[in-house]
Each structure stands twice: as structure tokens, then as C-alpha cells.
């Protein structure tokens, strides 16, 4: 089915001046703002100042972006402990609590403040640029309790003139009926739930051609596989991803090119070594480290999200000049450093997925020969498939493509049940 959209969801900008700013100008602006945000946090947020003191950093010595890039990374996974030792926000709040609008509680437990500034989370731009337009009828299936996802996307949609149906999570049957009954044309939520709703409509006897009005979906919170995107596209729905978190709001969004997510204009993002916090070169996988320079309530500086991605500096055909994140590729605590490069289990699976008819199971075994890391790629073939040199060469090439490392594929008779995708057998003593 072709797109059933009635509106132009592929052109136009929410804020053309900011989105199409010259690249050199943007970099200068963002780097200046990042340093300013650091000074602001040190001055206004006692918890952040204490974090700097603990690490022996004197704020006065941080004058430019080179100094800034050496600052310690504030790890998200350490925040629950910081919050609990000095509740409610570990001293990271830069304004009095009574000036807040809401406080959310996410598992951890961790508390996320929301200030009173209009479009506090910077999500209007995100929903508009993904393709929502004034007058859309949007069903928001994120939770409206405890965590902010439901409310902040609801408000972002309202903010650009959409009408929302705050359906929240679960209740598949009621939601499927609502989707048909109200002729809902916009969806917000995880991608698999949208597919479940469509299947439920079919099960309930609705006619997709007549009863499904869905045109556009913003999906987040789970990996969107190419096959799921294609499956939803086949129902005539445009599906675009956003990278949204409970502490930073809108971090990045897909444009109509659907090839990477543009970084928000209010954030300075570095891709860093998850262990040392050093910025990595373009095109290298690493931890997404964010500085939010527009947030006066809760200034997060060099905040280590724990998410892995790659920065794409290529020019985008949509006309936006911001760098893009090439999707979220897993969690930083799952990576293994091999020959100086970070490798995530998903990169190994990605290579194996190129051989659906041949490869049954795959794992990487890392060993050390002298001072050199050795990467062996063990392949268990499907029954009846011959381990030819040709196949080995093809697999080697795909491994190199996805990990940027030379591996050595070997065909094995067994890969033990429950073994790790990347087995590290290096001895460090």
C-alpha cells in the first residue's frame, strides 16, 4: 500500500533558521553554550559542583571546548545513588523545588524534574519534523503515570496544533476500537504495539482499507527493525523514530530521509569512550554524552546516557545541517573493546543477519597473542550447509563491515547454549 497521508509530511521545517544554520556557525555556537552550561551548573547546582570537587576540577580552569572535553562524564547509571544520598535531586537542581511544574519518578528510583518553561522538553520540533501536522488526531500510547513520556509528547502534539487521545499503555482491544472509531491518523508509542493494534483491528473484523486511517507514527523506546518498519509501511503508514529520554526530553529525531536522527539544536553531543570519557573520532561507535545547554532547572553537563551510537557528519538531503545519530546501537555496559575499537553484540548479529540461510548461530571469541588482540568468529552453520572458503570470505567481509575489525571466521560443530555473544578470554595480569 502506498502512503495514505493527506498532508505534506515530508517538507517544511519547524524552525528553519536554527535547523539550517551554517555548520561552522552551529559548532561555534554549541561549543560556546556547552562551556557556558558547565559554568552555570557549577554555580547553581551544588551537586554538580560537588561532583567536580570530588574529581579535583577547578571550574575556573575550564575556559574553552578543549578544557570542556576533558571534564569527567556524569554517568546516568550513577544518578539514582546521587539522588538518594541527597534527595530529591542530589543537589543537581539549579532552581528551588517550588518553581518546578512536575516531578516524575522512573525506575531506579530516579526523579526527573520538569520546569515551567514553554516546551520545556524541546519536543514540539521533534514531533513536527517527524511529520505530525496541525489538525492530526494523535493516539499517544506511552504511559501517563510516573514517567514523563505520555505527558510530554501529549503536550508537544498539542503545542503544534494536534488533537490527542491519551490512551496510555495496554488495553489493546479498547485502543484498537478507539483507533478505528475516531479515525485516528497519528500514533505515538513503541512500534510493535502499533502492529499489535492493527492485528487486533483485523481480528475484531474491521476492514483495514476502510477503517484504518493511520498515516504517521512516531516510535521510540524499542529497536525498530527494518522488517517491522516495512510491515507498517505496507499498511500505508509513515514510521519515523525519535530518541527521547526522561531526563533530556527530545534528543534526536528522524527526518523524512529516514536515515539517522538529527540532533536537537539545544544539545551538544559527543560520542565518547565509555570508560575514559574521551571524545572519539566521527564514525566510531561510543557512548552518547549529552550537554543540555537550554535547561536552567536541571543542567546536565557531559551526561553519559549509557546508550551507544555513531555520529554521522554527512550532509542530509532534507536540508537540516545538524549531525545525525545513526540509531541507538545498544548499551555501553555491553561493549567489549577489541584492538582499540568498541564492539557490541548487535554488530555481530548484524553481520550474521546477512546470511539468514546459512548461519544458525554466531559468537566472537577474543584472545590475546602477545600484545595483540585476536578476534575469532565462530560460526555454527545450518544443517546441510557446507563451510566453503567462499562463504568464509563473505562472512569475514561482513564482520569487517559491521565492526571495522578483521576477524577470522571458523566453522564450528557447536556453540554452547547460553554462551555470550562476545566471549572475552584475554588475561590481563
State the nearest-atom distance from the C-beta of 26 to Zn ion, in Å. Answer: 14
Q: Figure out which of the listed residues 75, 125, 133, 320 binds Zn ion, where binding follows CB under 5 A.
A: 320
> Closer to Zn ion at the Cβ: 316 or 412?
316
For residue 18, report the phi and psi dihedrals to the nearest 5 degrees: -70, -40
For residue 144, report the phi and psi dihedrals to the nearest 5 degrees: -100, 5
State the nearest-atom distance from the C-beta of 262 to Zn ion, in Å. Answer: 6
State the nearest-atom distance from the C-beta of 318 to Zn ion, in Å. Answer: 3
Residue among 398, 405, 403 at smallest CA distance from 359: 398
Pairwise CA distance, residues 151 & 155, whole Å? 6
Stretch that binds Zn ion, among 78-86, 167-175, 209-217, 317-325 (CB under 5 A): 317-325
Q: Identify the H or E element spanning 188.
A: strand 186-189
Place of cell 557446507: 386
Stretch that binds Zn ion, among 205-213, 252-260, 344-352, 407-415 (CB under 5 A): 252-260
State the nearest-atom distance from the C-beta of 19 to Zn ion, in Å. Answer: 9
Stretch that binds Zn ion, among 105-113, 135-143, 167-175, 320-328 (CB under 5 A): 320-328
> Closer to Zn ion at the Cβ: 125 or 320?
320
> Closer to Zn ion at the Cβ: 12 or 170?
12
Tallying the residues shown for the chain, one arrives at 429
> Closer to Zn ion at the Cβ: 195 or 316?
316
* Contacts of Zn ion in 202-231 (CB under 5 A): none
Q: Is 318 in the site for Zn ion (CB under 5 A)?
A: yes
What string of DSSP letters covers 281-348? PTT--EEEEEEETT-SSS---SEEEEEEE-EE-SPPTTS--S-EE-----BGGG-EEETTEEE-HHHH
Query: Terminal CA-to-CA distance of the chain, rounded, Å?
Result: 60
* Contacts of Zn ion in 257-286 (CB under 5 A): 257
Q: Identify the H or E element spanning 397.
A: helix 389-403
State the nearest-atom distance from the C-beta of 257 to Zn ion, in Å. Answer: 5
> Closer to Zn ion at the Cβ: 82 or 240?
240
Characterize the bridge pairing of strands 261-263 and 249-254: antiparallel
> Closer to Zn ion at the Cβ: 201 or 255?
255
State the nearest-atom distance from the C-beta of 125 to Zn ion, in Å. Answer: 13
> Closer to Zn ion at the Cβ: 255 or 377?
255
C-alpha cell of 334?
555491553
Name, in order, each residue with C-beta under 8 angstroms of 171's C-beta and a sequence gap of 6 or more.
none
* Contacts of Zn ion in 297-316 (CB under 5 A): 316
> Closer to Zn ion at the Cβ: 124 or 262?
262
State the nearest-atom distance from the C-beta of 187 to Zn ion, in Å. Answer: 21
Stretch that binds Zn ion, among 71-79, 209-217, 251-259, 374-382 (CB under 5 A): 251-259
Residues that bind Zn ion (rule: CB under 5 A) add up to a total of 5
H helices of 131-243, in order, are 149-159, 172-181, 191-203, 208-211, 226-233
> Closer to Zn ion at the Cβ: 260 or 345?
260
State the nearest-atom distance from the C-beta of 282 to Zn ion, in Å. Answer: 17
State the nearest-atom distance from the C-beta of 242 to Zn ion, in Å. Answer: 13
> Closer to Zn ion at the Cβ: 20 or 100?
20
Q: Figure out which of the listed residues 110, 242, 255, 359 binds Zn ion, where binding follows CB under 5 A.
A: 255
Residue 77 in 3-state DSSP? helix
HSE-CB for 58 with a 13 A CA cutoff: 2
* Contacts of Zn ion in 112-151 (CB under 5 A): none
Residue among 304, 326, 292, 310 at smallest CA distance from 121: 292
CB-based contact 412:380 (threshold 8 Å):
yes
Report the interface residues with Zn ion, using CB under 5 A: 255, 257, 316, 318, 320
Amino acid at each position: 500500500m502506498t502512503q495514505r497521508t493527506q498532508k505534506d509530511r515530508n517538507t517544511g521545517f519547524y524552525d528553519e533558521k536554527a535547523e539550517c544554520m551554517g555548520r561552522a556557525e552551529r559548532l561555534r555556537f554549541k561549543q560556546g553554550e556547552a562551556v557556558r552550561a558547565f559554568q552555570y551548573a557549577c554555580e547553581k547546582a551544588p551537586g554538580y559542583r560537588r561532583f567536580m570537587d570530588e574529581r579535583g576540577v577547578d571550574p575556573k580552569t575550564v575556559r574553552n571546548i578543549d578544557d570542556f572535553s576533558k571534564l569527567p562524564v556524569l554517568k546516568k547509571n550513577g544518578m539514582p545513588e546521587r539522588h538518594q544520598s541527597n534527595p530529591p535531586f542530589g543537589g543537581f537542581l539549579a532552581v528551588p523545588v517550588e518553581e518546578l511544574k512536575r516531578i516524575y519518578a522512573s525506575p531506579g528510583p530516579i526523579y526527573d524534574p520538569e520546569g515551567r518553561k514553554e516546551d520545556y522538553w524541546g519536543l514540539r520540533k521533534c514531533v513536527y519534523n517527524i511529520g505530525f501536522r496541525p489538525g492530526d488526531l494523535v493516539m499517544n500510547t506511552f504511559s501517563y503515570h510516573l514517567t514523563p513520556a505520555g505527558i510530554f509528547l501529549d503536550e508537544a502534539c498539542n503545542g503544534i496544533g494536534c488533537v490527542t487521545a491519551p490512551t496510555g499503555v495496554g488495553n489493546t482491544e479498547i485502543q484498537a476500537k478507539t483507533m478505528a472509531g475516531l479515525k485516528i491518523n497519528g500514533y505515538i508509542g513503541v512500534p510493535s504495539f502499533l502492529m499489535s493494534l492493527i492485528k487486533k483491528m483485523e481480528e475484531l473484523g474491521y476492514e483495514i482499507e476502510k477503517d484504518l486511517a493511520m498515516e504517521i507514527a512516531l516510535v521510540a523506546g524499542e529497536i525498530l527493525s527494518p522488517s517491522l518498519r516495512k510491515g507498517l509501511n505496507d499498511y500505508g503508514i509513515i514510521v519515523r523514530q525519535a530518541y527521547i529520554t526522561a531526563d533530556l526530553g527530545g534528543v534526536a529525531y528522524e527526518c523524512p530521509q529516514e536515515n539517522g536522527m538529527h540532533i536537537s539544536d539545544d544539545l551538544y553531543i559527543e560520542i565518547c569512550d565509555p570508560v575514559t570519557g574521551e571524545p572519539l573520532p566521527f564514525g566510531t561507535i561510543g557512548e552518547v554524552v549529552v550537554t543540555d545547554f537550554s535547561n536552567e532547572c536541571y543542567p546536565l553537563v557531559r551526561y553519559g546516557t549509557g546508550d551507544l551510537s555513531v555520529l554521522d557528519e554527512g550532509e542530509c538531503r532534507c536540508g537540516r545541517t545538524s549531525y545525525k545519530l545513526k540509531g541507538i546501537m545498544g548499551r555501553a555496559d555491553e561493549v567489549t573493546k577489541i584492538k582499540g575499537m568498541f564492539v557490541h553484540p548487535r554488530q555481530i548479529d548484524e553481520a550474521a543477519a546477512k546470511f539468514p540461510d546459512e548461519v544458525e548461530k554466531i559468537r566472537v571469541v577474543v584472545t590475546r597473542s602477545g600484545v595483540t588482540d585476536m578476534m575469532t568468529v565462530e560460526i555454527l552453520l545450518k544443517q546441510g550447509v557446507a563451510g566453503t572458503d567462499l562463504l568464509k570470505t563473505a562472512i569475514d567481509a561482513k564482520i569487517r563491515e559491521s565492526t571495522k575489525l578483521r576477524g577470522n571466521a571458523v566453522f564450528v560443530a557447536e556453540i554452547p547454549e547460553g554462551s555470550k555473544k562476545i566471549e572475552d578470554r584475554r588475561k590481563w595480569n
